[in-house]
Chains A and B, each alone.
Chain A
Amino acid sequence: MRNPLSEKVVTIKPSGIRKFFDIVSEMKDAISLGVGEPDFDTPWHIRDEGIYSLEKGRTFYTSNAGLKELKVEICNYLKRRIGVSYHYNDEVIVTVGGSEGIDIALRAMLDPGDEVLIPQPSYVSYEPCTVLTGGVPVIINLKAENEFRLTAQELRDAITDKTKVLVLPFPNNPTGAIMEKEDLEAIAEVIIEKDLFVISDEIYAELSYKGDHISIASLPGMQERTILINGFSKAYAMTGWRLGYACGPEPIIQQMIKIHQFAIMCAPTTSQYAAVEALKNGDEDVLMMRDAYNQRRRFLMNVFREMGLECFEPFGAFYVFPCIKEFGMTSDEFATRFLKEEKVAVVPGTAFGDCGEGYLRISYAYSIENLKIALDRMKRFIERLREEKK
């Protein structure tokens, strides 16, 4: 029989998280600091709206780009929150999670050989999605000393004649890093000078703890070069609904709609109705959850300081990214031993790129009570490691 598989697909490494996931799922009584989704249930009024839409029999396809009502609310929301205006009919597409938005944005923009700049550590999908389009991923290794922000110099150094797109993943998973206005202005200058486009993954935008999130699309000259990716998963605790959106210049969005039309048809209808409610009446919920995350973030940082664990203070998402280099083992070794000896699951930084070596991603999408239990174990574990080293 012939090899049924595509060579390109086979060369893609499986997610580094997968291996860990398999070990964890074998352990029955392990506790976790490893999830990348909110611990809150979707607010009831949003769920209720989804249920209501089912009761009403709204069980058909929507138009490819999404319900008009939802697209209008998305535009209102973006105007209100980041001060950028989009036209609901030409510049918005409702996607199956932010993930689909990233995929089809890359597919709409890349030809084989085009280079895509991907700052890492970052979410796991940018690199494989680039490879699948025939694009060439070029990794920018972000540095702890810059609090894992992308600097203009790092950007400049990575640009070649073939560079076309920069993926900008802030607030960042896994580091919790954010880009403030000055940071964005510095890189926007380079982007415009070098005539690049940006896929700005702002799925964690609402989870910013140092003033409101600023979108690169809001900077002068940048809206026409930016595909803004956002969604409902993190801000409204709606991961399972699989709903996101992409906004940007009409020519790019229209090509994205074409791909989406053939690959997906339309995002889930129930989710779209629920999302309308989220945008209309969900501001209070977002605020409540952000406050809760922020309290946990401060709590966690304080415990790390007490443990003497090196960690920059992250101001976004719901992750902290402590450094474990002092223990002289790899992220993988640390996470594996921590899981086996203390039954706590964390994700090795290397799951998000090679430069995550020496770091762990710790999620605070857990109640303070759960965090306390896990952190007590972490403290015990770290003390033991330090004892061993003596």
Chain B
Amino acid sequence: MREEILSAIEKNSRVDSEELAIRLGMTEEAVVSEMNKMEEEGVICGYHTMIDWEKTSMEKVTALIEVRVTPQRGQGFDVLAERIYKYPEVKSVYLISGGYDLMVILEGKSLKEVSNFVSDKLSTMDSVLSTATHFILKKYKDHGTIMSKKNEDERMMITP
């Protein structure tokens, strides 16, 4: 039941709870109470909106920054990760396997703002060994959603 609710709202968090209950063959009360429970337990962490900022007048620059660090004794990567993710302009921080350690996703108003963050804040942290910044030029698909316009229904109107 949880998984069914989650996979439905993952695609559309605005779905009306009454409608969702009908679609899943449950009572509305059951859906609402399960969702409340999942909010309390932190299974559901928020309800965000997918925005194509390109289509607005807002100027935004997104960068993916690879960060190599020296893990600290007894604390691993967590303390450093915390120092990074507390900056509000940092959208995501992941610890990853492979050639570097942390992936930081940063959003700024301009190239300059992003590069200032990297040179002034990030690179100067004690255990940061190196950074590599990649600016996003175009988003094709984000959070499972393809950003280009949807195709028209190409099926014939009536078929047996």
Contact = CB atoms under 8 A, between A and B. Distances in A.
Interface of A: 15, 17, 20-21, 24-25, 30, 32, 34-37, 39, 123-125, 173, 291, 295-296, 298-299, 302, 345, 347, 351, 368
B158 A32 contact: yes
A34 B155 CA distance: 10
Interface in B117-160: 153, 155-160
Interface string B13-33: 000000100111100000000
A20 B159 contact: no
B157 A298 contact: no
A113 to B, nearest CB: 28
Interface residue tally on B, bucketed by range: 10 to 19
A299 B157 contact: no
Contact of A298 (B7, B23, B155): B23
A15 B23 contact: no
Contacts of A34: 157-159
Contacts of A295: 8, 23-24
B23 A299 contact: yes
B153 to A, nearest CB: 7
Contacts of B158: 17, 20-21, 24, 32, 34-35, 345, 347
Interface in B54-77: none
A304 to B, nearest CB: 12
Q: Which 9 A-B residue pairs are closest in the complex by CB-CB distance?
A: A295-B23, A34-B158, A32-B157, A36-B159, A24-B157, A302-B22, A21-B158, A124-B160, A35-B155
Contacts of A25: 157
A37 B159 contact: yes
Given A123-B160, A368-B19, 19 more contacts: A17-B160, A24-B157, A25-B157, A32-B157, A32-B158, A34-B157, A34-B159, A36-B160, A39-B155, A124-B160, A173-B160, A291-B7, A295-B23, A298-B22, A298-B24, A299-B22, A302-B22, A345-B158, A351-B160
Contacts of B155: 35, 37, 39
A141 to B, nearest CB: 19
Contacts of B7: 291
Contacts of B25: 298
Contacts of B156: 21, 35
Nearest to A366: B153
Interface of B: 4, 7-8, 19, 22-25, 153, 155-160
Nearest to B7: A291
A240 to B, nearest CB: 10
Contacts of A123: 160
Contacts of A298: 22-25
Nearest to B12: A368
A368 B19 CA distance: 10
Nearest to B15: A368
Contacts of B160: 15, 17, 36, 123-125, 173, 347, 351
A291 B24 CA distance: 9
A24 B155 CA distance: 13
A34 B159 CA distance: 7
Nearest to B8: A295
A84 to B, nearest CB: 28
Contact of B159 (A35, A39, A125, A302): A35
Nearest to B25: A298
B23 A368 contact: yes
A279 B109 CA distance: 48
A302 B23 CA distance: 9
A37 B159 CA distance: 8
Contact of B157 (A39, A296, A345, A351): A345
B156 to A, nearest CB: 7
Contacts of B24: 295, 298
A39 B22 contact: no
A190 B160 CA distance: 30
Most buried by B among A20, A32, A124, A351: A32
Contacts of B8: 295
A21 B153 contact: no
A191 B122 CA distance: 78
Nearest to A302: B22
B23 A296 contact: yes
B22 A21 contact: no
A317 to B, nearest CB: 12
Contacts of B22: 298-299, 302
Nearest to B19: A299
A347 B158 CA distance: 8
